[in-house]
Amino acid sequence: MCAIAGILSVADTLPPLEVAMRRMLGMMRHRGPDEFGIYMADQVALGSARLSIIDLSGGQQPIANEDASLWIVFNGEIFNYMELRVDLEAQGHRFATNTDTEVVLHLYEEHGPECLRLLNGQFAIAIWNENDRSLFLARDRVGVRPLFYTQTGGRLIFASEIKSILTDPQVKAEMDPVAVDQIFTYWSCLSPRSCFRGIVEVPPGHYLMAQAGQVTVKAYWKLEFPDVGGERSQADYQEEFHDLLTDATRVRLRADVPVGAYLSGGLDSSTIAAIIRRLGVSRLDTFSIAFSDEQFDESKFQREMAARLGTEHHVVRATHEDIARVFPEVMWHTEVPVMRTSPAPMFLLSKLVHDHGFKVVLTGEGADEFLAGYDIFKEAKIRRFWAQNPGSKWRRLLLKRLYPDIAKLNDAGTEYLAAFFGAGLSETGTNDYSHTVRWRNNRRTRRFFSRDFTARVAEQRDQEDAEVSYPDGFETWSALGKAQFLEASIFLAQYLLSSQGDRVAMAHSVEGRYPFLDFRVVEFCNRLPARMKLRGLNDKYLLRQMARKYLPKEISGRRKRPYRAPIHKSFFHAAAPGYVREMLSEQAVNAAGIFNPVAVRQLVAKLDQDSPIGETDDMALAGILSTQLIQYQFASHFRPVVALSSRDNVKVINRRRQNINLLQPC
């Protein structure tokens, strides 16, 4: 696991590359604090900040092939690298290290961009080809590892994090109005957009090729939910799923450092932890979050599962004060506004992992998206059933069964149900039918935008396509498949794996690994008939059946409880930090120019009076505060002064003066 960065120029001259690369890597020191490497040649520079996990002593990057015509920097892990290496050696390739990074390099030498189809991993790749003067960038299938880039002044600048790109004095940290607008609807920007103008990501499942001043981006893998005929028996499906998930877990235990696991107390993480134990791991350290607010706490189930598995269990307790205290630092790492405070406890959890000497943890992300575990899938199913007889008073009551914890819903009559969930009820043929209720509710938070900002959004939207795009053949997919695509391509890829995943884990140099996101598991789940995922209103059916052999009934049959964290109670209490009031003050709101200061003042007054607050206002508070912090930290007060110094272990390879290893650790 590493951070990577680089600069490619089509101009004849470049700024001092080593100085620029030291700045870029210094901004991402948290991602890879073990050692640093810089490669420089005419018109190009590559950099790496390494978190040593495989081949601890011999894997320093950048790495070259046999004749030094190809150079690579790499962020991530290739879980099938051992098998790939055997094939490459049989074809005559010779290796200087035992790393998966070098396997990727030789695989690219052999197959070019087609090598990506052979990789089972989570990665961001940069390869420079000296022979044809091309730069190749690529990102894993579902977007576990980040990779951003911008083009300015005849240069392409890329990095694992946006703050690294912003160290270039020609790149402005200007927030993108349409991106902010998207966040207040979808909880994230829509790929490839970031929340900063002109800085975009290499989308999941894509690669970029830059050569002779031309930049092209192509897909090598697509998220699909085809309608596959010819159903097999449940026993067949269950056996194949068990074998795939077990092997996905097994290969993710490959490391030259200890590997732990997150344990939330739910079905997904408990299954992964149980499989690890079945694979013969003698000691397993598990890590969990406990909340002081009982409304969000699941520590009882975590303790029970840890005791049953016999793990060395570690817990971090997240209080309202803790969430508010770390929130600005969390925003520095997410580099994008959020509509929830959920990344903050995950930030505290990764610190717990780091403090116990672990660099790698396995987690359960992905099961809900690809095995239909979220309530939104069941909600869409109920609404479609209701739409067949819109006048029925009984069909809509199924929603009360679905959301038993929502007091307002269960205290209200059928009129409220009809008003909230009935909008667009009969429009079952629309692409976004499954997400209509959520997105409509989220859009209500945009009433806090200032009039000027709303106008800027509208003007920009008139000039570009800023809506959700749907793949070819989408209309032929099942209703569940369509809903899963939206959840996986937007919520999972752009929020869960980013703001709540990579960014807060790597803030403390911790790598998350996700067996449910092994592409073999994903493709298997996407070909399953709907009844193997959502049977009636019973979610993750196949997983629950399989998990019976691993887990007690109270875990395998436990109802899904979405992971959330308190919002307004974290920011409005007697010990709340001063930045909250400062960022929400009329002066700060006016300075940022995004929100209506009157509307924000009214929200603050409601919270000061301890008035009842709904979910929409709760999300609005998180969105407003996080946006204000991003604006302040990046657009207003960004200080790119952190650079690698002579005290850091930096290997510099300078081919601009035809002198390999001009500087060895300095």
Q: Identify whether the C-beta of residue 551 lies closer than 8 Å to the C-beta of residue 271.
A: yes
Q: What is the mean pLDDT of each run of 10 residues along the chain (666 residues)?
A: 89 75 94 93 92 80 95 97 96 94 97 98 97 97 98 95 96 96 96 97 98 95 86 93 98 95 95 96 96 93 94 97 97 98 98 97 97 96 95 86 67 69 92 95 96 96 84 94 98 97 97 98 96 95 93 84 92 92 97 97 94 91 98 88 82 69 35
> Tokens 């015509």 correspond to what residue?
69
pLDDT at 1: 63
- Sign of the four-CA dihedral 233, 236, 239, 242: negative
- Sign of the four-CA dihedral 469, 171, 45, 54: negative
Sequence letter at residue 433: Y
pLDDT at 409: 58
CA–CA dist 144, 121 (Å, integer): 9
pLDDT at 659: 41
pLDDT at 666: 29
pLDDT at 398: 87
pTM: 0.95
CA–CA dist 102, 187 (Å, integer): 37
End-to-end, the C-alpha distance of the chain in Å comes to: 23
- Sign of the four-CA dihedral 250, 255, 256, 257: negative
pLDDT at 224: 95
Neighbours of 144 (CB within 10 A): 26
> Tokens 């996986």 correspond to what residue?
488
Q: Identify whether the C-beta of residue 65 lies closer than 8 Å to the C-beta of residue 73.
A: no
pLDDT at 461: 87
One-character DSSP codes across 436-482: HHHHHHHHGGGGGB-HHHHHHHHHHHHHS--S----TTGGGS-HHHH
Token representation of residue 592: 């940022």
Helices (H), 388-426: 398-402, 407-411, 414-421
Q: Identify whether the C-beta of residue 181 lies closer than 8 Å to the C-beta of residue 337.
A: no
One-character DSSP codes across 195-217: SBTT-EEPPTTEEEEEETTEEEE
pLDDT at 412: 55
pLDDT at 427: 95
pLDDT at 396: 85
Q: Identify whether the C-beta of residue 414 lies closer than 8 Å to the C-beta of residue 393.
A: yes
CA angle 606, 609, 615 (to 5 degrees): 45
